[in-house]
Structure 1
Amino acid sequence: MEEEVDKRQQGKDSVFFRDGKKRIDFILSYVDDRDGERKQERRREYEANLQKAGLELETEDKSESDDRKTYFVKIHAPWEVLATYADVLKIKVPFKANDIPVHQDIPMDWLFTPFRLPDHIMNPEPDYFTSPFNKGKIDFFLIDDKDTFFPPSVRNRIVYYILARCPYYKSDREDKKGIKRLLNNGTYGSAFPLHDSRYWKPSRDSNSESERFNLYTHWARFFSFFKEQPLNLIRKYYGEKIGIYFAWLGFYTEMLFFAAVVGLICFLYGLFTFDDNVWSKEICSEEIGGNIIMCPLCDKKCGYWKLSSTCNSSWQSHMFDNVGTVFFAIFMGIWVTLFLEFWKRRQARLEYEWDLVDFEEEQQQLQLRPEYETKCTSRRLNRVTQEMEWVLDRTAAELVGKVLLCWATVVLWISLIIACIIGVIAYRLAVYAAFASIMKDSPTNNIHVVGSLITPQLATSVTASCINFVIIMILNLMYERVAIWITDMEIPKTHLEYENKLTVKMFLFQFVNYYSSCFYVAFFKGKFVGYPGDYIYMFGWSKLRNEECDPGGCLIELTTQLVIVMSGKQVWGNVQEALVPWVMNWWGSRKARNHPESCYSRWEQDHDLQNFGHLGLFYEYLEMVIQFGFITLFVASFPLAPLLALLNNIIEVRVDAWKFTTQFRRPVASKAHSIGAWQEILNGVAVLSVVTNAFIVAFTSDMIPRLVYMYAYSNDLSMKGYISNSLSVFNISGFSDDNRPEDGESPEWFNSSVITTCRYRDYRYPSGHEKQYSHTMQFWHILAAKLAFIIIMEHVVFMVKFFVAWMIPDVPSEVKARIKRERYLIQEYLHNYEVEKLKIQLSQRNEDCCCTPVIYPDISRHVVLSQCL
């Protein structure tokens, strides 16, 4: 009796049919509606066609399911079907053990022992030479057991290929097919391959591999964050496309370590050189900064203030605006090149090891989207395959019209982002006066409960950054649906083409959405403000006077903006990725918790998990590429950005692993030989980052004006007197009624009869000079130095980038040798196989006619002749 119960429990958790032999390769589920006669007819036709295609089906009645409503159709692909479609899809399988020795002599290898995983986890399969499967040459390949020859990931990929193309309705006019359309119209509720076990314990079935349990144990748990990733096991279980994502994410995280260390050193340099910061000492000095009266920073509501009140922001700015900033900007320009070049080499190695060499052509020709095939109305000869294929007829006018409509929509949404950014800028201009009025005495007057940290500039910058972040999140949710809709409307031919089109649209939008506020602070804020008596206003509206930079400089404001948007996105992203699927799964499986675990079948467990859509990896890549932009485009303003990204990615790898292993159904395995369009986007961001960082150092940082002063205007090559030199003088009597502070807005110490001038950040001649309020020669010297710095830095970094790219080959020589060796062996083995096969045929034929075959070897090839003796 106990044995029968144990078998029943094992059967509920099994990944096999009731006979315990046929493996379940796919599951279809549906709820039988009373009014769903049309759906029932579709299911009957579809399942009948699946059986005609050679698949075997077994249905679990709703009475056997936990909710007593859901039917589960289990699908098994027998050997004949697998062999046929493996031939069609050109799936590579082993034909000979790899005989090339692997040299892994790593100096001080024992240091890496704590980071290693067991070899059976890192390398779950032996290393073989592989060749595309050919059903007519089965004995050419290393087939020990037909039941296990194709791993589950390959099996579910083949079955999904059949499901996606199997018709469920046929007529003279229309041919409807594909599981995706049946899912969309509600005929089936879900379609998914099964996990091979529970994630927290191995399968009780000896025929099941329990790879999910191994992945969770050695990879998905957070306390394994310092361990290497079992990429070969990930690839074997989830397929190459997901494997290549985790390989890229892991490599990116490893490279971030070096950038984070250098960035931390640069930050510490700024922290430990406070005592050498002469200009900050002058600002904080009561004799210098305390006697410099600054002009109001806004109209009417802002009063006069002393420069010494910006002492704290000046010290804070020095941590990021120092000589180390220039070094780090140059370093990151070289780092990003090394990252991309070394990734190409790593990717080339994975392409060979995972049998992805020359895969792109196969994917383009074979992996057509079912949505494209259903729209095709005519056939045309494919010049590559010389076979007739279905094509989509589109007139030139229709094609141009769709392209224009799609890109007009993208431009419209980008314009909406720009409008929102302008709205945030207007908010900054409007509320600054309010904050200044509340904090009365000076623009840096304190809210005393928090010390001398909150200023009108800081309050405005922080609240505007938070509002901007909320707008970014809202626009992301809205545009995502729009981007998918317009991409669907273009009807791309292949899955790769679909993802590439969507990638370009989404990245352009997100680029503007996330980075526009940082570009504003870096390159526009404080650059077009005019001067006292002749200020510049936004759209000419007298209430929106253009912003000036924080007294500590615009760089500290760019740092604030970057930290809020980047950190907010990373925290929100990780919480959303981990919490949302967990809550949804908890809610979806609440009924099952009322029953014994043994009654909860394997297909029901997976059915209650979240579905991993075909765009699941797209969002993962997009998140990381946006982060890559933050740490490269604006890194000169915040050297700690790579460190924040490193800490986030250490968590991200394990959150993604945990999510894939525990919260999502097993995705259909698919191939990808690279990270696709993201590679070109990363290259573009890398080039742009050199330009943006050069401009940040030149125009946002105060580095160039300080260097010009020290070498051209200082008598002793010191920074003494720099603060007074960098401030221009304005006669207070020159203020108009629209600019002059209202009564009561200026501090008590201000006496207009004694104080007749105020200072402002610029290089202009004072009142009474023949060139009154026009730019001085020092301004033009500084501008020339800034432009010269940009040109020199860009050329130096680009020359180093191109030299490094030229020095590092994209494909390692070892991989090239292995590829050549494999191709040679394929030709040699196939040749010998055909010769041996012909010998056997001739031998069998001559046994019947008493003839002896004579084989004459030729220099270039074997020529087989039959001669009767």
Structure 2
Amino acid sequence: MWNFLGAVKSKIMVLNSVSGEKVNKHIDYSFQMSEQSLSSRETSFLINEETMFQKNQQSKDSIFFRDGIRQIDFVLSYVDDIKKDAELKAERRKEFEKNLRKTGLELEIEDKRDSEDGRTYFVKIHAPWEVLVTYAEVLGIKMPIKESDIPRPKHTPISYVLGPVRLPLSVKYPRPEYFTAQFSRHRQELFLIEDQATFFPSSSRNRIVYYILSRCPFGIEDGKKRFGIERLLNSNTYSSAYPLHDGQYWKPSEPPNPTNERYTLHQNWARFSYFYKEQPLDLIKNYYGEKIGIYFVFLGFYTEMLFFAAVVGLACFIYGLLSMEHNTSSTEICDPEIGGQMIMCPLCDQVCDYWRLNSTCLASKFSHLFDNESTVFFAIFMGIWVTLFLEFWKQRQARLEYEWDLVDFEEEQQQLQLRPEFEAMCKHRKLNAVTKEMEPYMPLYTRIPWYCLSGATVTLWMSLVVTSMVAVIVYRLSVFATFASFMESDASLKQVKSFLTPQITTSLTGSCLNFIVILILNFFYEKISAWITKMEIPRTYQEYESSLTLKMFLFQFVNFYSSCFYVAFFKGKFVGYPGKYTYLFNEWRSEECDPGGCLIELTTQLTIIMTGKQIFGNIKEAIYPLALNWWRRRKARTNSEKLYSRWEQDHDLESFGPLGLFYEYLETVTQFGFVTLFVASFPLAPLLALINNIVEIRVDAWKLTTQYRRTVASKAHSIGVWQDILYGMAVLSVATNAFIVAFTSDIIPRLVYYYAYSTNATQPMTGYVNNSLSVFLIADFPNHTAPSEKRDFITCRYRDYRYPPDDENKYFHNMQFWHVLAAKMTFIIVMEHVVFLVKFLLAWMIPDVPKDVVERIKREKLMTIKILHDFELNKLKENLGINSNEFAKHVMIEENKAQLAKSTI
């Protein structure tokens, strides 16, 4: 009788699953009908079902009820609350659990006296067959109907070279490929059901149970219907809700437990010794769901593509290393007869002294590692690489949609599922133009105040980032004089060669300080942005994630990249010249670049922020859950003689949370920005990202399999809004790298000198350093800027293209300045047009969906239609009770009638 009621209740929910209001209306109706049809004795039996079971000794790794037959699909936990709302919470739990039973779920409660800490209750939930088949139809879950006759892609000849990277086929493809169709309770005999207990994988089972939990009511409070496990978790009525892992990660399961996929994942995916192996993507999808699976597909594909960029970047770095000693500019700077005789103007007012150019010898050589002829090539290469990466990812995503049965998956299915918080807060109803049903509706005027607050908060925090960057600049300016006066004393007028110039020293300390400020601001903003997004009351989970994504990405873009943009495009560009410098706040002189350019400082800034973020992120991801779990287990294991059961072990693990995957994507996309936006200044950035991602994959795998509770499986057919962000950053990267090569690098001035101003035919770059430095008359220094100590020389040099003091246009820009500026603008236009042309050609040539995938999709659709057609014909034949000849004749008559009707029309 109970299964019958569950089936009736589930059927009502199937017919009304599109509209959240109608689902809840029929839930109430089914509850009333079931209460009327059941006697008080039967109702009491349902409420106290756990008393039927005897407490038998069982294995601590068991994932079954006490009878050893019914599998645990979900677990709720709570503790006794001694506060004033304890009775209210108890009443909510009682009503909620009663309503769960009415939906057909089966519950078993573990008393707190049997738990390790002696204070936690556990409610174990099992979904019987009738519930599973009903909600599988509601959620449109695809299940196998026939084993596929389409062979898997064959290995190419090069794939045999990659043999050590491959996983065993039993791990890579844990299940055969099938033709699938959306499950239907009325066509159960169509599907390959060998065993009802194992037909639905555990990921589908916990997804179905969570769907029920998220919509089950627990009472009426303040005249409003309250429902959903999330509200109960937020009010601490339940302390946690989670599906169980299927076993221990360090050992395989023993019968009667099913195959331990967690152990298989740990052995073949989460171990650091397998860093060179491919990922068991199908197994990840089967265990954690498509949404987490596609993240690891994306991370793995991105890492593979980084390998090619890292190889080219490393080659460019090696070229700079080999050519460093033969670089004419560095040779002249280091030459005691050239650079040693050039007296440079002071780097700050009064305190700083004059200095010799050859004191920057080592810095100029180091700068050549990243500022050489290969810089232009690598900038263009990365513009093409990012296009190939995005186009090939679209192909990989299309192939994934076919392999994981997501071809017909539409995001709109999830958009129609309203957030319980939204439904609870809505006081209005509105007719849905698509479903023609009344559904919760929140007018725009009620949201405007929160939107305004949200926009103001984001703007405020972005302003804080800019303010902190200005504060770091002020720090650099204020300490620069100290470094300069300390490092450029009288000894600097001697032929001293040091790497730690005042610019480099200030840049190093400023970059470290800026990185610390970035981490602090990011920590606080994460909390505030999540709270504000909740206050906006988004309609669906997708709207919630999209709103949070916009807030977090805008902030992190400004937070992590603003200092790099400053060094690349502003520092040293508006300095002025000796005697007429520009000042910040009329107090500090604007920062100057090193005589070798600002590129080395941009490289330093990028290296510290990028490397520091990656190291800090990996340590945090590994240490934080490990320490929390250790402390939680330490507090929980107070009754060591008790059975430390499977659900208690998972309860003591850290929760991955609904936004866990969001922050993983955000971290990867932020790294993508470092690799693409400023890569012209640091060819080793792809190599650092590659090393980090190899570690990141294993860290993420390790923490998911060992340190986190199992997540609720959910579907996704793409990386969502992150793909649009990647496209936007790819376009922006072309412009930023073109401007870095033109205005931050020294390559364009050198080329102009090489082709237009060099007078040495055998060694065209000879004399470039002298040509790039202008002359200033010391007597023209204003009194408040000149060094206090007098010198016996009458001129000093500074980096610019200006007329000398003996010219009638003294200190104005000369013609070479305008030639260099014209060359820079020409280079930007040419590079952008060339790269964009290649990007558009590649995007046009590379199809979004590979041809073989299109053919496979067509083949599968054809076979599915044929199987369904044959099934329906056979079913009709059985219902009519006629023989084959009569049935064929009947079908022919019906077809002739249809053709005649069609011709008549």
What TM-score results when the alignment is normalised by the length of structure 2? 0.90
RMSD of the alignment, in Å?
2.3
More displaced, 624-633 or 104-113?
104-113
The SS at the match of 1:620 is helix
**SS at 2:589's partner residue?**
coil
> What does residue 747 of structure 1 align with?
none
Match 2:135 to one of 69, 85, 89: 85
Please report how far the alpha carbon of residue 594 of structure 1 lies from its aligned counterpart in structure 2 after TM superposition: 6.9
Looking at structure 2, the residues matched to 852 and 172 of structure 1 have their Cα atoms a distance apart, in angstroms, of: 62
**Of 805, 810, 814, the match for 1:772:** 810
Distance 1:133 1:769, change over 3 A: same
Whole-angstrom CA distance in 2 between matches of 1:477 and 1:171: 36
Whichever residue aligns with residue 559 of structure 1, its letter is T
1:411 is the counterpart of 2:449: no
Residues 310 and 444 in structure 1, CA contact (< 8 A), matched pair in contact too: no
Paired residues of 1:704 and 1:786 also in contact (CA < 8 A):
yes
Residue deviations 1:54-110 (CA, integer Å, cap 9, x gap): 100000111111111111000000111111111111111111211123340410443
Give the whole-Å Cα distance in 1 for the aligned partners of 2:577 and 2:595. Answer: 15
Change (3 A) 1:808 1:736: same
> 5+ unaligned residues in a row in structure 2: which ranges?
1-54, 901-905
Q: Distance in 1 between matches of 2:582 and 2:769?
A: 25
What is the aligned partner in structure 1 of residue 402 from structure 2? 352
Q: Partners of 1:238 and 1:114 in 2: how far apart? A: 26
Give the CA deviation at 1:345. 0.6
Distance 1:447-1:824 versus aligned 2 partners, 3 A rule: farther
Q: 1:813: how far off?
A: 1.2
Between the aligned partners of 2:426 and 2:852, the Cα distance in structure 1 is 45
Alignment pair present for 1:118 and 2:162: no
Shift of 1:601: 0.5
**Preserved contact between residue 26 and residue 76 of structure 1 (Cα < 8 Å):** yes
Of 735, 750, 765, 2:781 maps to 735
Q: Does 1:837 align with 2:875?
A: yes
Q: Residue 219 of structure 2: SS of its match in structure 1?
A: strand
Q: What's the CA shift for 1:207?
A: 3.4
Q: Could you tell me which residue of structure 1 aligns to residue 425 of structure 2?
A: 375
Give the Å deviation of 1:378. Answer: 4.0
Q: Does 1:270 find its partner at 2:305?
A: no
Name the counterpart of 1:391: 440
In structure 2, the residue matched to 1:28 is 76
- Counterpart of 1:477 (choices 489, 512, 523) is 523
Correspondence list, 1:569-588, <5 A: 569-588=613-632
- The 8 Å contact of residues 857 and 863 in structure 1, kept in 2 or not, is answered as no
Q: Is the 8 A contact 2:877 2:887 kept in 1?
A: no
Q: Partners of 1:638 and 1:31 in 2: how far apart?
A: 54
Matched AA of 1:857: M
TM superposition shift of 1:535: 0.4
C-alpha contact (below 8 Å) 1:444/1:456 kept by paired residues: no
| Counterpart Cα distance in 1 of 2:493 and 2:572 | 21
Matched ranges for 1:459-608 at <5 A: 459-539=505-585, 541=586, 543-591=587-635, 599-608=643-652
Is contact 1:194-1:666 (8 Å) kept? yes
Structure 2 residue 903 is matched with structure 1 residue 857 = no
Could you tell me how far apart the structure 1 residues matched to 2:415 and 2:625 are?
Answer: 35
Partner of 2:797: 759
- 1:338-385 CA distance string (max 9 Å, x none): 11111111111111111112323443344322112222334444343x
The structure-2 alpha-carbon separation of the partners of 1:594 and 1:324, relative to structure 1 and needing over 3 Å to count, comes to: same
Give distance in 2, aligned partners of 1:389 and 1:355. Answer: 32
Q: Distance in 2 between matches of 1:283 and 1:336?
A: 37
The aligned counterpart of 2:353 is 303
* 1:592–1:600 CA contact under 8 A, matched in 2: no
Deviation at 1:447, TM superposition (A): 15
Cα distance change on mapping 1:527 and 1:25 into 2, 3 Å:
same
Residue 746 of structure 1: aligned partner:
none
C-alpha deviation, 1:141, in angstroms: 1.6
- Distance change >3 Å, CA 839–CA 381, structure 1 → 2: farther
Which residue of the partner structure matches residue 123 of structure 2? 73
2:833 matched to which residue of 1? 795
Change (3 A) 1:274 1:33: closer
Aligned pair in 2 of structure 1 residues 600, 722: CA closer, same or farther (>3 Å)?
same
Is the alpha carbon distance of 1:64 and 1:159 closer, same or farther for their aligned partners in structure 2, counting shifts above 3 Å?
Answer: same
Does 2:47 match 1:47? no
Given the superposition, is the C-alpha separation of residues 118 and 737 from structure 1 closer, same or farther in structure 2, using an over 3 Å criterion? same
Distance across 2 between alignment mates of 1:821 and 1:563:
50
* Whole-angstrom CA distance in 1 between matches of 2:576 and 2:122: 72
Q: Quickly say closer, same or farther: Cα 1:242–1:8, change in 2 above 3 A.
A: same
1:390 is paired with a residue whose SS is strand
Q: Which residue of 2 aligns with 1:674?
A: 718
For residue 237 of structure 2, the aligned residue among 187, 190, 209 is: 187
Structure 1: 5+ residue stretches without partners: 1-6, 744-750
Partner of 1:704: 748
Secondary structure class of the residue paired with 1:276: coil
For 2:492 and 2:183, locate their aligned partners in 1 and report how far apart those are by CA, in whole Å. 74
Paired residues for 1:260-339 under 5 Å? 260-339=310-389
Between the aligned partners of 2:604 and 2:164, the Cα distance in structure 1 is 38
Closer, same or farther: CA 95–444 of 1 in aligned 2, 3 Å = farther
Shift of 1:399: 3.8
Alignment-mate amino acid for residue 75 of structure 2? I
Corresponding letter in the other structure for 2:804: P
673-682 vs 493-502, greater mean Cα deviation: 493-502
Instruction: Quote the offset at 1:402 in angstroms.
Output: 3.1
CA distance in structure 1 between the aligned counterparts of 2:405 and 2:612, rounded to whole angstroms: 40
SS of residue paired to 1:28: strand
Number of residues of Structure 1 aligned to a counterpart in Structure 2: 841
- Would the alpha carbon gap of residues 389 and 25 (structure 1) be closer, same or farther in structure 2, given more than 3 Å must change? farther
Does the Cα contact within 8 Å between 2:803 and 2:814 map onto a contact in 1? yes
Provide the rounded CA distance (Å) in 1 between the counterparts of 2:158 and 2:696: 29
SS in 2 for 1:168: strand
Cα deviation for residue 34 of structure 1 reads 3.8
Deviates more, 1:153-162 or 1:206-215: 206-215
Cα 1:842–1:823 change in 2 (3 A) is same
Alignment of 1:413-428 (within 5 A): 413-428=461-476
Partners of 1:267 and 1:380 in 2: how far apart? 62
Residues 161 and 852 from structure 1, CA distance in 2 versus in 1: closer, same or farther, beyond 3 angstroms? closer
Matched, 1:435 2:483: yes
Measured in 2, the distance between the counterparts of 1:316 and 1:639 equals 14
Q: Is the 8 A contact 1:219 1:229 kept in 2?
A: yes
Verify the 8 A CA contact 1:444 1:454 in the aligned structure 2: no
Q: Give secondary structure in 2 for the equivalent of 1:349.
A: helix
Q: Structure 1's 599 and 713: CA in aligned 2 closer, same or farther, altered over 3 A?
A: same
Question: Which of residues 680, 698, 707 in structure 2 aligns to 1:636?
Answer: 680
Q: Structure 1 residues 314 and 172 mapped into 2: Cα distance closer, same or farther (>3 Å)?
A: closer
After superposition, give the CA deviation of every residue in 1:304-335 in whole Å (9 maximum; x if it has no partner): 00111111111001110000111000000011
Assess if the C-alpha contact under 8 Å between 1:309 and 1:442 holds in 2.
no
Amino acid at match of 2:486: I
Contact 1:465 1:565 (C-alpha < 8 Å) held by counterparts: yes
**Counterpart residue number, 2:820:** 782
Aligned position for 2:732: 688
The separation in 1 between residues aligned to 2:557 and 2:266, in whole angstroms, is: 35
TM-score under structure 1 normalisation? Answer: 0.94
Question: What percentage of residue pairs aligned between the two structures are identical?
Answer: 62
Letter in 2 for 1:788: T
Report the Cα distance in structure 1 between the residues aligned to 2:859 and 2:66, rounded to whole angstroms: 45
Relative to structure 1, the CA distance from residue 342 to residue 597 in structure 2 (aligned partners, 3 Å threshold; closer, same or farther) is farther
- The 1:651–1:829 alpha-carbon spacing in structure 2 relative to 1, beyond 3 Å, is same
Classify the secondary structure of the residue corresponding to 1:74. Answer: strand
Provide Cα deviations, 1:632-659, integer angstroms capped at 9, x if missing partner.
Answer: 1010111011111111111000000000
Check 1:104–1:860 CA distance in 2 against 1; reply closer, same or farther (3 A cut): farther
2:772 counterpart (716, 726, 739): 726
